[in-house]
Amino acid sequence: MNLIIDVGNTLVKFAVFQQNTLLEKKTVEGKNALKAFKKIIKDFPFLKNAVVSYVGKLEKTVFDAINAELKLLVLDQDTKLPFKNMYKTPQTLGVDRIALVSASVKEYSNSNVLIIDAGTCITYDFITKDNEYLGGAISPGIRLRYTTLNTFTANLPLLSTEMPEQLIGDTTASSIHSGVVIGILKEIDGVIDEYQQEYEDLTVILTGGDSDFLSKQLKNGIFANSNFLLEGLNFILEFNSH
C-alpha cells in the first residue's frame, strides 16, 4: 500500500493507493499537512511506501514524520524513470512533468501522447510511441492570466474565472473573460492541431485544476483525468520498488 504526496505551490495532496487503485485522496493547505498525514497513517495502518513530489515547500516536521513511518522516495531528476528522457536540460525538468509523463507510459504505452496540465501554468509534455520523452511547452494558466492583467495594469480589475457568453467583449469585464478564456482554449486547440499534423494516432490527456472547466469547451477529442499526476507518482514508486 502506497502513500503519494504531491506538494504544490499552495496545497498538499495526499493519496493512498492499493497497487493501481486509488483508495483515498485528501487536499490540504501546507499548514495542515502534518495533521492530515497523522490521520492517514491512523486510517491506513498497512501503508509501507511513500513518494513525495515537490513543487512547493514541505515543512521539515512533516517530512521527518513521513520518513519516520514509511520507506520514502523523494522524486527528483535522478530518480529511475520508466521512459527515456531526451530533454536537453534534464536537471531543470519539473518533477510534476516527470510524474505526468510516467502516468502516460503506464496508461498509454506504445502511443504518441500529449499531456496537458492546466494549473497555475499550462504545461505541454510529449512522449513518443517509442517511449522517448521529447519535451513540450509552458505557458501561463487561467488564474495567472487574470492576475497578471490586474497586477501589471492601472485600471483592469481582478475577475473570477468565467466562460464568456460571446467572442466580442462589450464591457471591460467581458473583454477580459474573452481574452483569457477563449485565448487559452484557442491556444490548447491550436497546439493539439500542430501535434496531430506531426504525429499520427495522437492521444491527448488533459489534467490539472482547470481541466474540468476547459474540457467541456475544447473542440479536439481529449481524455480528462484529474488524478493523472497522482497515478504517475504511484507508478514511479512501484517502478522503483522492484
Residue range(s) of every CATH 3.30.420.40 domain in the chain = 2-74, 84-233
Q: Which CATH architecture has domain 2-74?
A: 2-Layer Sandwich (3.30)
**Per-residue confidence of the chain (242 residues) as pLDDT tens digits?**
999 999 987 789 999 999 899 999 999 998 999 999 999 999 999 999 999 998 878 889 999 999 999 999 999 989 999 999 999 999 999 999 999 999 999 999 999 999 999 998 999 999 999 999 999 999 999 999 999 999 999 999 999 999 999 999 999 999 999 999 999 999 999 999 999 999 989 999 999 989 999 988 888 878 999 899 999 999 999 999 87
- pTM (2 decimals)? 0.91
Whole-angstrom Cα distance, residue 9 to residue 84?
28
Instruction: Answer for the pair 101, 87: CB distance below 8 angstroms, yes or no.
Output: no
User: Phi/psi at 64 (nearest 5 deg)?
Assistant: -65, -40
Report the distance separating Cα 77 and Cα 164, nearest Å.
Answer: 40
Q: How many CB atoms lie within 10 A of CB 65?
A: 16
Distance CA 52, CA 99 (A): 11
- Cell of residue 78, nine digits: 535522478
Half-sphere exposure of 199 (CA within 13 A, CB side): 17
Q: Write down the catalytic residue from 96, 117, 125, 210.
A: 96
Say whether 201 is catalytic. no
Question: Domain 84-233 sits in which CATH superfamily?
Answer: ATPase, nucleotide binding domain (3.30.420.40)
| Segment 88-92 long-range contacts (CB within 8 Å, at least 24 positions apart) | 88/135
